[in-house]
Structure 1
Amino acid sequence: MSDLVDRVEELADFFTEQVEEADDLGRLPDRTAKTLRELGIVRALQPKDFGGDERHPREFFEAVLAIGSRSPSAGWVSAVVGVHAFELAQATRKLQEEIWGGDPDTWVASPYAPIGRARRTDGGWIFSGRWPFSSGTDHCQWVVLGGMLTDDDGTVLPDGLRHFVIPRSDYTIVEDSWNVVGLKGTGSKDVIVNEAFIPDHRIINPADLGTGEAARQAGRGDVPLYRMPFHSMFSGAITAGTLGAVEAGMAAWVAYTRNRVSARGVKAATDPRQLHALGEAASDVEASRMQFLHDMDRLYEAAASGKPIPLELRAEVRRNQVRISHRAGAALDRLVAHAGGNSMRVDNPIQRFWLDAHVALGHGANVAEPIYEAYGTLTFGGKPDPKVRM
């Protein structure tokens, strides 16, 4: 266990206690964001020369799981905001100076959905759009947004997908745009950019993240952390956020079932059906955690070798990530099916964490079918759809 996880464990009661407040606010409370900053979870993947720790990805994800198993919303924000440091370490030096030069605890939000459109102008691009699902955005000072380069007529350019990195002064957070049944405390609100000027040095080509070219250009091509596949890392953040919510739900189920007595006077903790459901679910959830962390070890070992990371390994890891999320989610569903009607009362944490897990499962990175198809195609010697990100 790493020192980062040790510090999370010391704060376990804090993260558990603030869950309801976060949901009521529709974002993380200021005190929770402050605690996460002091903890250093978002600096875990940040370069050492900008105040970060450059930790092994396993350490980062173990800490995310430890947070998420107490507070799924705090775990989700830690994962998503934290993984952005991994990408920005591969951006231009000038951009890194702008973001972290004055404060290494600066947070950066997203999302990557290529909704925005950018047209060329002198020295950069004029960029506009509206994006949903900007997790943790109230506590961030920058945002990285997906978009497409266009010509002057608005026609999208070939290979025009880009990430645009924008300071807080150039975008608007839409209040009351995060009205959901789960992961309420993530504050994943809409953001709007209206005709903002984006200089060239604040634009990242995600294709270069996938090939390792971005890391080489940033002078970090020999650092194993920044040789990790971008899509395995970002999607891994979603897997960890989902799995943390499932673990929170399972812990709530155990706590509730321990003292639950049926209308017929039967103690649930002695009911064979309850015991069977728990044994099966606990095994599936633990298997999911072990597989997820093992895959991070495998990828890091491949990255540290200095050799290109095979597409076959990346496809295997993405196959596993989506399966992990859905296997764990199904395990929690089976427990909830045995929890009785009172588990759905709003003051029962089982329903809260169950809904958190299902909202997490709705993220695009958890859509399984294209990943399975790509893995199968590759297994049988074909070429996977290049739109499937691995």
Structure 2
Amino acid sequence: MGEVLDRIEEHAEEIRAAGVEGDELMRLPDTSAQRLRDAGVIRLLQPVEHGGLAAHPREFAETVMGVAAMDGATGWVSGIVGVHPWELAFADPKLQDEIWGDDPDTWLASPYAPMGVATPVDGGYILKGRWQFSSGTDHCKWIVLGAILGDQHGKPIMPPTILHVFLPRADYTIVDDSWDVVGLRGTGSKDVIVDGAFIPDYRTLDSADVMDGSAPRNAGRTESTYLMPFSCMFPLGITSAVIGIAEGALACHIAAQKDRVAITGQKIKEDPYVLYAIGESAAEIAASRAALLETVDRFYDKTEAGKEISFDERAIGRRTQTAAAWRAVRAVDEIFARSGGGALHRKFPMQRFFRDAHAGLAHAIHVPGSIFHASALTQLGGEPEGMMRSMI
């Protein structure tokens, strides 16, 4: 276990308890956000020259899992907000200084989905749009957004060119009443609106360069952490959170069943069917964890050796990552169905783990269709085209 996770573990009970508050506030409680800052969770993938740890991606994943096992929303914010310093590490040094120069604990929100249009003007772009699902946004002073390049009239140019654009808090509006959901309520994943903000050129990255690995190399980055594929690093934080939530649900379930007696008078620990379900679910969650970490370890080792990770390998890595999330949530379903009616009470955390797990599975990064298609096609000697190559 890494030092960052050691530090956050010291406050595990406080973070678990604050999960109730986050569910009501529909954002991360200030105390939980402060614990993440103090422990350095969001600085795990941040470059050393800006106060970060430039950690091995495995340590990042394990930390996110550990936090999510305490509280799903806190783990989710750790995984989503925690990956943004990784990309900022190969943005323009002027932008890095602008964001981290005075405070290395400055957080960035997102999303990357291109829900706005960037219209070229002298020295940069004018940005307009509305973006959904900006996780942890109340605690962030900057944001990175996906935008489609537009023509001089603000109409998207086809085929699309996607930019990642960085804005300070003064240049966008958070829509406070836009997040009232069934799961991951405490993430505060609200809508944001940008209405004509000017984006200087140095505050942008070409999404294609980020996706194909050109951006970190063009920036002169040589550390293996920053040369990892985007299609491995971005999903890593999200899927780690889902697996951590499943681990939290399992721990919660086991604790509740130790002394539980069924309505029939039988002790749960003497019910062979429940025992089988617990054993099977524990094995499935452990397999999900192992599969995700094995992929990131293997990709890191190959990157460290100076070798390229092929499209075929990336596709299979995405298949593994997506399947891991689904496997873990199916395991949660099995134990939740055997938790008894008490698990439905809002005063117990089991129901929140259940809701958070399913909400996490709904993220676009976990949709298996095109990923399974592309990975199978490459193994059969085919060549995925168009959307079949998306996020691979």
TM-score, normalisation: structure 2: 0.97
Give the 3-state SS of the residue equivalent to 1:156 in structure 2. Answer: coil
The superposition leaves residues 131-174 of structure 1 with CA deviations (integer Å, 9 ceiling, x where unpaired) of: 11100000000001111001123332234111111100000011
Alignment match, 2:381:
381
Alignment match, 1:332:
332
Give the 3-state SS of the residue equivalent to 2:233 in structure 1. Answer: helix
CA contact (8 A) 2:319 2:375 kept: yes
Distance in 2 of aligned mates of 1:236 and 1:95: 25
Distance in 2 of aligned mates of 1:189 and 1:225: 30
Distance in 2 of aligned mates of 1:224 and 1:159: 30
Alignment match, 2:155:
155
Give the 3-state SS of the residue equivalent to 1:191 in structure 2. Answer: strand
CA contact (8 A) 2:315 2:374 kept: yes
Amino acid at match of 2:219: A
Alignment match, 1:186:
187
Compare 168-177 and 340-349 and name the one that shifted more: 340-349
Amino acid at match of 1:103: D
CA contact (8 A) 2:8 2:36 kept: no
Distance in 1 of aligned mates of 2:129 and 2:252: 40
Q: 1:18, CA displacement in angstroms?
A: 1.3
Compare 179-188 and 4-13 and name the one that shifted more: 4-13
Distance in 2 of aligned mates of 1:337 and 1:83: 34
The superposition leaves residues 265-318 of structure 1 with CA deviations (integer Å, 9 ceiling, x where unpaired) of: 111222111101000000000011111111111111111112222222211110
Amino acid at match of 1:219: G
CA contact (8 A) 1:262 1:268 kept: yes
Distance in 2 of aligned mates of 1:10 and 1:38: 11
Alignment match, 1:278:
278
Alignment match, 2:252:
252
Alignment match, 2:371:
371
Amino acid at match of 2:191: D
Alignment match, 1:106:
106
CA contact (8 A) 2:117 2:155 kept: no
Give the 3-state SS of the residue equivalent to 2:326 in structure 1. Answer: helix
Distance in 2 of aligned mates of 1:36 and 1:256: 28
Amino acid at match of 1:40: G
Give the 3-state SS of the residue equivalent to 1:28 in structure 2. Answer: coil
Amino acid at match of 1:290: A
CA contact (8 A) 2:64 2:244 kept: yes
Amino acid at match of 1:171: Y
Distance in 1 of aligned mates of 2:35 and 2:259: 33
2:164 pairs with 1:166: no
Distance in 2 of aligned mates of 1:166 and 1:368: 32
The superposition leaves residues 190-245 of structure 1 with CA deviations (integer Å, 9 ceiling, x where unpaired) of: 1110011111111111211122211122221x210111001211111110111111
The equivalences for 1:285-296 within 5 A come to: 285-296=285-296
Give the 3-state SS of the residue equivalent to 1:154 in structure 2. Answer: coil
Amino acid at match of 2:42: V
Distance in 1 of aligned mates of 2:66 and 2:293: 13
| Percent of pairs with identical residues | 47
Q: 1:14, CA displacement in angstroms?
A: 2.1
CA contact (8 A) 1:90 1:209 kept: no
Distance in 1 of aligned mates of 2:264 and 2:215: 64
Compare 74-83 and 380-389 and name the one that shifted more: 380-389
Amino acid at match of 1:233: M
RMSD: 1.1
The equivalences for 1:289-304 within 5 A come to: 289-304=289-304
Alignment match, 2:137:
137
Give the 3-state SS of the residue equivalent to 2:261 in structure 1. Answer: coil
CA contact (8 A) 2:245 2:356 kept: yes
Q: 1:11, CA displacement in angstroms?
A: 2.3
Q: 1:336, CA displacement in angstroms?
A: 1.1
CA contact (8 A) 1:134 1:191 kept: yes
Alignment match, 1:308:
308
Give the 3-state SS of the residue equivalent to 2:103 in structure 1. Answer: coil
- Return 5+ residue gaps in structure 2 as ranges: none
Alignment match, 2:199:
198
Q: 1:50, CA displacement in angstroms?
A: 0.9
Distance in 2 of aligned mates of 1:339 and 1:3: 34
Matched pairs, number: 389
Distance in 1 of aligned mates of 2:138 and 2:154: 31
The superposition leaves residues 5-46 of structure 1 with CA deviations (integer Å, 9 ceiling, x where unpaired) of: 222322222221211111111111111111110100111101
- The runs of at least 4 aligned residues of structure 1 exceeding 4 Å deviation read none
